[in-house]
């Protein structure tokens, strides 16, 4: 017991502050930065290397389909595309994920009635609809002492009948389509749907494949889109807090 207490004292306070700017790894690739004035007319280098067709000349970038691989930035001879360190990328509308160089419209809060219902206690059932387990792992990390999702009144629960909404990952494979729909129907109304990751938003690398739905938005109404492949836990946490009408992270 003494060793446990000594080690706990050595580690100190481990929970991240939701007020201070977060410390992110040096290799972290956050919100893309587009510089249209640098884009050379007729150049298609960025579009040619994008594995999901998320980039087009201009440049335009579909953040929902982006895998954050960085190939477009490396291929652009003029440096018109780069990846910054901003982790804040969650939005309410799928169309808001299409970047044109303007500031990203971050997620707005739910209407007053929904905030009254979910603002202090939000229970979510996670559904992996054909995901690779990367986004699922990032969601699991939110329950650790470092991020401590529970301090905000948000909890991932085991049953949809105990949930206020779904947090969906994966491109929604045909084998998981019916299971996702049944899980959604089991959640009491009013209910929320949160799409986490490039696959749940736009199909990811499986986009337009006949065996997937290319994201959850085609079969369920989505209240929050969180892009990334996978999104950083801070990106997910920031989006959830904004949805509940609270101050985001950092």
Residue 7 lies in a domain: no
Q: Distance between CA 195 and CA 201 in Å, rounded?
A: 6
What average pLDDT score do residues 218-245 get? 96
Mean pLDDT of 12-16: 76
The predicted structure's pLDDT at residue 13: 67
- Cα separation, 29 vs 249, whole angstroms: 17
Full domain range(s) for residue 212: 112-243
Report yes or no on 98 lying in a domain: no
* Residue 123 half-sphere exposure toward CB, CA atoms < 13 A: 12
Sign, CA torsion 112/114/116/120: negative
Tens of pLDDT, residue by residue over 92-151, are 999 999 998 778 999 999 999 999 999 899 999 999 999 999 999 999 999 998 999 999
CATH number at residue 182: 3.40.50.12280
Does a structural domain hold residue 229?
Answer: yes
Q: How many domains does the chain contain in total?
A: 1
> Do the domain assignments include residue 190?
yes
For residue 78, being part of any structural domain is answered with: no
Q: DSSP string covering the chain, please?
A: -HHHHHHHHHH---SPPSSSPPP--TT---SEEE-GGGPPTT--HHHHH-TTS-EETTTEEETTT-----HHHHH-TT--EEE-S-----BSSGGGGEESSSPP-PPPPPPHHHHHHHSS-EEEEEEESS--SHHHHHHHHTTSTTT-GGGGTEEE-S-GGG-SEEEEES--BHHHHHHHHHHHHHSPSS-EEEEESHHHHH-GGGTT-TTB-SSGGGTS--SEEE--SSPPHHHHHHHHHHHTTS----
User: Is the distance from CB of 194 to CB of 167 less than 8 angstroms?
Assistant: yes
Looking at the domain assignment, is residue 71 inside a domain? Answer: no
Mean of the per-residue pLDDT values of the chain = 92
- The verdict on residue 166 lying in a domain is yes
The pLDDT, as a whole number, for residue 220 is: 97
**160, part of any domain:** yes
How large is the average pLDDT for residues 6-19? 76
């Amino acid at each position: 017991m003494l060793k446990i207490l000594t080690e706990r004292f050595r580690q100190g306070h481990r929970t991240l502050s939701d007020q201070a700017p977060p410390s992110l790894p040096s290799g972290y690739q956050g919100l893309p930065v587009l510089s249209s004035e640098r884009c050379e007319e007729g150049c298609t280098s960025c579009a040619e290397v994008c594995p999901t067709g998320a980039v087009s000349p201009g440049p335009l970038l579909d953040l929902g389909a982006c895998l954050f691989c960085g190939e477009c930035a490396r291929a652009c001879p003029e440096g018109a595309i780069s990846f910054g360190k901003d982790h804040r990328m969650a939005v309410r509308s799928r169309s808001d994920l299409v970047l044109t160089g303007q500031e990203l419209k971050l997620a707005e809060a739910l209407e007053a009635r929904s905030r009254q219902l979910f603002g202090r206690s939000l229970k979510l059932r996670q559904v992996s609809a054909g995901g690779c387990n990367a986004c699922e792992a990032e969601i699991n990390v939110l329950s650790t002492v470092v991020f401590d999702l529970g301090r905000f009144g948000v909890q991932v629960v085991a049953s949809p009948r105990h949930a206020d909404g779904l947090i969906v990952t994966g491109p929604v494979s045909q084998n998981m389509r019916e299971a996702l729909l049944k899980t959604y129907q089991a959640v009491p109304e009013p209910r929320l749907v949160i799409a986490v990751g490039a696959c749940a938003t736009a199909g990811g690398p499986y986009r337009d494949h006949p065996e997937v739905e290319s994201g959850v938005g085609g079969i369920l109404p989505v209240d929050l889109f969180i892009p990334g492949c996978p999104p950083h836990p801070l990106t997910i946490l920031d989006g959830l807090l904004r949805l509940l009408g609270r101050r985001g992270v950092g």
